[in-house]
Copies of this chain bind each other. A is one copy, B any other.
Amino acid sequence: MSSDLDRMPNQPPTIYDVARAAGVSIASVSRVLNGQRNPRAETRERVLEAVAELGFVPDGAARALSARLKEVVGVVVRRPRWNDGSMFADEDENLQFPDMINRGMEIVAQRHGFDLLIRSVDLHDPDPSRRIFALARKSDGLILHDRVLSVEQLERLSRLVPIVTLAGVPSSTTANVHCDNEAGMRALARHLIHDHGYRTLAYLCGHKGSPDSMRRGAALAAEAEAAGVTLAEGEEWRGGYQAAGGARAIEQLIAHGVPMPRAIVCANDQSAMGVLHALARHGISVPGDVAVTGFDDIPVARHLSPQLTSVRQSIQGLGATAFETLYSMISRAPAAGAVRESARGKDIALPAELVRRESCGCPRSAAVPSQRGSETGR
C-alpha cells in the first residue's frame, strides 16, 4: 500500500519494488531472473512470488544500457513518393516485397530475442541522414533496403553500428545481400527468346540507381544481344517498381504511338501488375499479343490473370539472411581484435529461379495455387 504511494500514479514496478517485497537485494532479483549464479531455492521462490505478485517486467532501456545490447535492429525502407500533397496519396501502392523481406527478418530475429525497429524514409526527403543516424543509435545494427544514403554517409554510419544492405553494393565496412539477378534474368531471357521465339523485347526498369534493376537490365541486354534480338529500354520504360508506375508508362507509350514489343520484361512483379492492367484496358491480349513477365514472384503473382511468369527468389530468405549476417556482425563486435574474419565487406548472393506461368505464353498449369514447387520451371 505504501509502495503504491511511493511511485507517483502507477508507474510499472521496478526491481527495487520486487526486492523490497521479497525481502532481498536487487542483485538477487536480477540473478533469479537471469538465471545467474544459481540462487538458493528459497530465495528464488520468494523472488518469483514477488515478481508474479507485482507483475514485474524489467525495463528495456535500462537493460540495454547496462548490457550494452538493445536487442533491436533498425530497418530502413524507402517509401514511394507521395503523388500529391495529400497524406496517403501513396495508399494505392503497398510494399509487398519489402514487407515480406521484413517478415523474414523478423521471424529469425525473434529466435535471437531481437525486434525490428522500422522506419520508412520519404524518397524525396532532402536529407534523411539525421533520422537514420538517430535510428542507428536506437539499435544494435541496421539493415538498409535501398540506397538512401551517400557512400560517405554510409561510411560514417558504419562507424556507429554494423550495417547490412539489401540489393546494394558491399563496402569495406558493410555487407550486402542480394539475389542472383544475372542467373535469374538469363534464364528468363533465354526462355522468352529460345523457347517462345520472341524477337522484340522491352525492359521496364525499376527506380533510378537501383543496382537490382540495373543488373537485371544488363543481363537481359546481354542475352538479347547474343541472340540478335531487339531490346527497347530507357527513361520512357521506367516503372519505378510500382504498379501505378508500370501502368503509367504503358499508357504514355501507347498514347505516343509507340508499338508494343512482343514481350515486356518488368523489373519486378508489382510493376508487371500495372502493365497487365494497362494492357487489358486497351484490349491488348496477354500473352497472345504481348507477353509480360515479372521478377520476385510475390505471392499475388499466381493469382493474377493471366498468372504471372516471374523469377522466384526466397523473399523471406533474403530477409532471414540479412538478419543472420547482421547478427554475426553484432555478436562478433564485442570480441573485437580477436576474430577478424567478420561478415564486413561480404556480398552474399541467393539463388533465383525461373517460374513459368501463363503470362509468358506457357500453357496454364494445373497446379493448386497454394503449392509453389509443382509449378516451378526446370
A277–B136 Cα distance when bound, in Å, is 43
Q: Could you tell me if A316 and B88 are in contact, using CB atoms closer than 8 angstroms?
A: yes
Question: Is A287 on the interface with B (CB-CB < 8 A)?
Answer: no
A105–B106 Cα distance when bound, in Å, is 18
Give the chain B neighbours of A198 by CB distance below 8 A: none
Q: Could you tell me if A65 and B61 are in contact, using CB atoms closer than 8 angstroms?
A: yes
Give the chain B neighbours of A102 by CB distance below 8 A: 118
Q: Could you tell me if A243 and B303 are in contact, using CB atoms closer than 8 angstroms?
A: yes
Interface residues of A (CB under 8 A from B): 8-10, 12, 55, 57-62, 64-65, 70-72, 74, 79, 83, 87-88, 91-96, 99-100, 102-104, 106-107, 110, 115-120, 131, 133-139, 156, 159-161, 243-244, 247-248, 251, 273-274, 276-278, 280-281, 298-300, 302-305, 314-317, 320, 333, 336-337, 366, 368-370, 372
A99–B103 Cα distance when bound, in Å, is 10
Given A65-B65, A94-B299, A159-B12, A120:B137 Cβ within 8 A: no
Give the chain B neighbours of A64 by CB distance below 8 A: 61
Partner of A137, one of B12, B92, B298: B12
- CB<8 Å pairs between A and B, sample of 21: A9-B337, A12-B137, A55-B159, A57-B133, A58-B137, A79-B107, A88-B314, A91-B100, A91-B314, A91-B316, A92-B370, A93-B299, A96-B96, A103-B120, A110-B119, A110-B131, A115-B119, A117-B118, A243-B299, A244-B369, A281-B366
Q: Could you tell me if A280 and B305 are in contact, using CB atoms closer than 8 angstroms?
A: yes
Q: Could you tell me if A299 and B92 are in contact, using CB atoms closer than 8 angstroms?
A: yes
Q: Could you tell me if B100 and A94 are in contact, using CB atoms closer than 8 angstroms?
A: yes
Closest A-B pairs by Cβ, 3 of them: A60-B138, A9-B336, A305-B305
Shortest A255–chain B CB gap in Å is 12
Q: Could you tell me if A159 and B118 are in contact, using CB atoms closer than 8 angstroms?
A: no
A315–B92 Cα distance when bound, in Å, is 10
